[in-house]
Chain A
Amino acid sequence: MLKFALVGNPNSGKTTLFNALTGSTARVGNWPGVTVDKRVGVHKTGERAVDIVDLPGIYSLSPYTPEEVVARNFLLDERPDCLIDIVDATNLERNLYLTTQLMELDLPMVVALNMTDVLDKRGDRIDVRALEKRLGLPVVEISALKAANLELLTERALQAVTTPRKGETVLKNSPLGAAITGAEIALRLKGVEAPLFHAVKLVEGDGLEIKNHPAEAEAAQAFLAAHGTAKGQGEALDTEAAIADARYQYITARFSPTLLRAKKYACDELSPSDKADKLLTDKRLGIPVFLVILFAVFHFTFSKDLFFLGALIPSFGAWCAAEGGALKSVFFSDGLHSVGVLLFNALDLLTGQVGEGLGIGLRALGAGEALTGLVCDGVWGGLAAVLGFLPQILTLFFFFSLLEDTGYMARVAFMLDRLLRRFGVSGRAFMPMIMGFGCSVPAIVGTRTLADEKEREATVRVIPFFACGAKLPVLTAIAGGIVAYFGKGNADIVTYSMYLLGVTVALLSLLFMRNTTMRGEASPFIMELPAYRTPGIKSLALHLWDKAKHFLQKAFTVIFASTLVVWFSSSFGWDWKYLGKEGMEHSVLASIGKLLQPLFTPLGFGSQLTSTGWVFAVAALTGLIAKENVIATLGALAACLSPSFIGATEEGVYEVTTMIAATGITMPALLSFIAFNMLTVPCFAAVAAARSELGRGKLKRTLLFWLVVSCLTSCIVYTVGSWAWTAVPWSVLAAFTVVGIALYKKRAVEPPPPRVRGKRGCCRCGGCKAKAACGAKKE
């Protein structure tokens, strides 16, 4: 089967074109070794089917970013049958810069000129015939968004495949032309594939290239020296600039005139997009506007009272709150539900009904309690745990993609970069972190926009510290319990300070990591601000479908298996007897909890409690399935342990007060317990997302990081809360850490003292210029 590769700049509509060409056949994965999306799909034209590979969006074939290296290796090693180079017509010069590099490969190639409709609206147009002639490549005007002219595009591509193409370069007449031709001849004689491309890279002094073709690199340098354009190492860098200059000069001289403007365009003129931008990134209003947009996103995803209708119109609110059956409660409670809540409730109702139905069916067939429990609570419960997350994850994803596709996300990064740089991450890390307040899963997947690996890992680690929607019920229940039992404090203030604690810990650990284990400045921030665009619904839907599929594929097994394990250990005793919910105190999980209980002593909910203190350990464990389980477990155990327990309440306050009475836990210890649950290993779904973003190796370190941070913070909360004087040793410890890091940094920044080399000759450091000679001597 023929294989076409889609290449183009980011924001050129490449993925939209890919979706339009391949429809639902797309498979999404990662390129080996890097977290760069790889999309492969099949396009059918008439009888023929063609494989389409969507290469990552790149500006150049330089050797510096993982995206560029991936694209380059694919083009050179896999040699697709045809390149479809997608060029954004509204941004011709910079897009053609990549084209001038691609045409140096000996691959058949078609240029897809996208977004000419946007140009039309402005009254501008491109003389396609002239551009075609000057490029020496077929050019097809398309609209990826409207799926217009795609058949013509594939037709021209299929035509192009039939005749082999030799690479062409626009650098022939530049000062470096002779050196390039010389290097090309040398490579061609050696039988290297794509000699022209390699020749240009050699003259450019491209690191990857010099490693792969050292002999030719030397020859190219000799040519350069002979033509008086370069002298040795230092000058080799200049060829990089010279080549970029020459490309752009050629483009402005030859290609740019094919763009026929209706009127002279000045770069300070305001288009409608610019007017919107003026407000959205305004010096004073930009950030308040952003906060409003952010609030709207969360409101549409999590609000149970959309537009505050229930609160504003009391009669409507009362009607919503009134009992009206299961179906009504899907749509209304405090008011009209937001999309996220509505979908969540609908799915919850459905899975609940099916689960119940399964139970009834199984019992009717004469299945025992254990089997019914296994099927309904274990297997089906596991399935529901995976699916249950989806509605709100997807709603949040939807808004995330919407903001991304309109071009607003890049502006948010632009506005907030300065703020975040202090903590060692770039402005692009902001949105994923804030998304963490909603759900860690889309937030963790959203870190993909971060260019730097270390920066991404650090961001993924702190995302769970932004307390997600599922942690809120835990917070309110325990805060409510504290106020109800001890009769002091204010539940709202406790909840609010816990949120604040999470953010503080996140920022502190970012600072700590970026100064110690994950050293490095915030990654460079040279980013295109794409024109504001109305996103295509189809493209958005496909994007969403991609994400959902990807999440389910990656997360399904992890979530399902771990849910099953937790269910199994909480429902069975060591004697393999099924206990059900009522007998949880005798379960395997309970005995694990009892075993773990002493470990929590420094955190305040360990050995100092009565013999029933293990419930907190167990609740923390079941919280791994989903954080709201913490309260559900406390409820189930309260029923087992306290004979006077009447029944679970909606807010969970009663469960908590019962537990406080039964275990004798103190107030600081309870605060430490919430802090622990907020900061420790997040739910399995988030862990699965982190695994697919970071890979297994890094996940292990990250899990350890979560455990250490949560234990340390909880320990501080407990000790300082119980004995105020302990704040003194803690602050001394903190001061020592800060000083230690500062010293460590200073040492690392200063260059190590030069070592005096003895007569032993060659060291394998690679820094010695006489290395080759040393090696020869040794032999």
Chain B
Amino acid sequence: MLYLSQLSIGERCVVVSVKGEGAIRRRLLDMGITSGTEIYLRKKAPFGDPIEIALRGYELTLRKAEAARVEIERL
């Protein structure tokens, strides 16, 4: 299984599901990371973490630990 945290810069993927529970999961869902959403990994911060992704026409940053909850398929 592949997770969003494993994606490299410039790669695209589609969300399969968001794991876990509670506030963090809900926030990920609310921000539009739902199954079938296309995500593009734009960049990583100077220290390698957090990452910046583009989805639904806007940019979002999240930590690798949070991205590790998002199961994806590479495009």
Contacts and interface: CB of A to CB of B under 8 A. Distances in A.
Interface string A34-66: 000000000000000000000000011010110
A275 interface: no
A528 B50 contact: no
A430 to B, nearest CB: 12
B68 to A, nearest CB: 12
A237 B21 contact: yes
> Lowest 5 CB-CB distances: which A-B pairs, in order?
A418-B47, A244-B29, A60-B30, A64-B23, A267-B54
Interface in A390-421: 410, 414-419, 421
B7 interface: no
A59 B50 CA distance: 21
B29 to A, nearest CB: 4
Contacts of A527: 60-62
Central interface residue in A90, A92, A283, A427, by most chain B CB within 10 Å:
A283
A286 B57 contact: no
A681 to B, nearest CB: 35
A418 B36 CA distance: 29
A76 B54 CA distance: 34
B61 A529 contact: yes
Given A91-B58, A528-B59, A529-B61, 6 more contacts: A59-B31, A92-B57, A417-B49, A524-B24, A524-B63, A525-B61
B73 interface: no
A348 interface: no
Interface string B12-55: 00000110011111111111101111101011111111101011
Contact of B17 (A241, A249, A415, A524): A241
Specify which of B36, B42, B44 lies most central, judged by the most chain A CB atoms within 10 Å of its CB.
B42
B56 interface: yes
B62 A94 contact: no
Contact of A414 (B24, B58, B61): B61
Nearest to A204: B26
Contact of B32 (A97, A240, A427): A97
Interface of A: 59-60, 62, 64-65, 90-94, 97, 237, 240-241, 244-245, 248-249, 265, 267-268, 281-284, 286-287, 410, 414-419, 421, 427, 524-529, 531
B23 A414 contact: no
Contacts of B36: 245, 249
A524 B56 contact: no
B35 A245 contact: yes
B22 to A, nearest CB: 8
Interface residues on B, range: 35 or more
Contacts of A59: 27, 30-31
A418 B35 contact: no
Contacts of A416: 45
Contact of B27 (A64, A94, A249, A531): A64
Given A93-B56, A268-B10, A281 B45 contact: yes
A351 B26 CA distance: 54
Given A237-B21, A241-B18, A248-B32, A526 B27 contact: yes
B26 A526 contact: no
A260 to B, nearest CB: 14
Contacts of A417: 45, 49-50, 63
23 contacts: A59-B30, A91-B57, A91-B58, A94-B32, A97-B32, A240-B25, A244-B29, A245-B34, A268-B10, A268-B40, A283-B43, A287-B46, A417-B50, A417-B63, A418-B47, A419-B47, A524-B27, A524-B66, A526-B28, A526-B61, A527-B61, A528-B58, A529-B61
A414 B47 CA distance: 10
B32 A529 contact: no
A286 B46 contact: yes
Contacts of B28: 526
A777 to B, nearest CB: 33
Contacts of B44: 283
Contacts of B24: 524, 526
A265 B55 CA distance: 12
A415 B46 contact: yes
Nearest to B24: A524
A423 to B, nearest CB: 14
A487 to B, nearest CB: 45
B4 to A, nearest CB: 12
B58 to A, nearest CB: 5
Q: Which of A282, A416, A417 has the most CB of B within 10 A?
A: A417
Contacts of B17: 241
B48 A418 contact: yes
Given A237-B21, A268-B10, A528 B31 contact: yes
B23 to A, nearest CB: 4
B56 A94 contact: yes
Given A417-B45, A417-B49, A240 B26 contact: yes
Nearest to A410: B61
A321 B55 CA distance: 57
A560 to B, nearest CB: 42
Contacts of A94: 31-32, 56, 58
A763 to B, nearest CB: 25
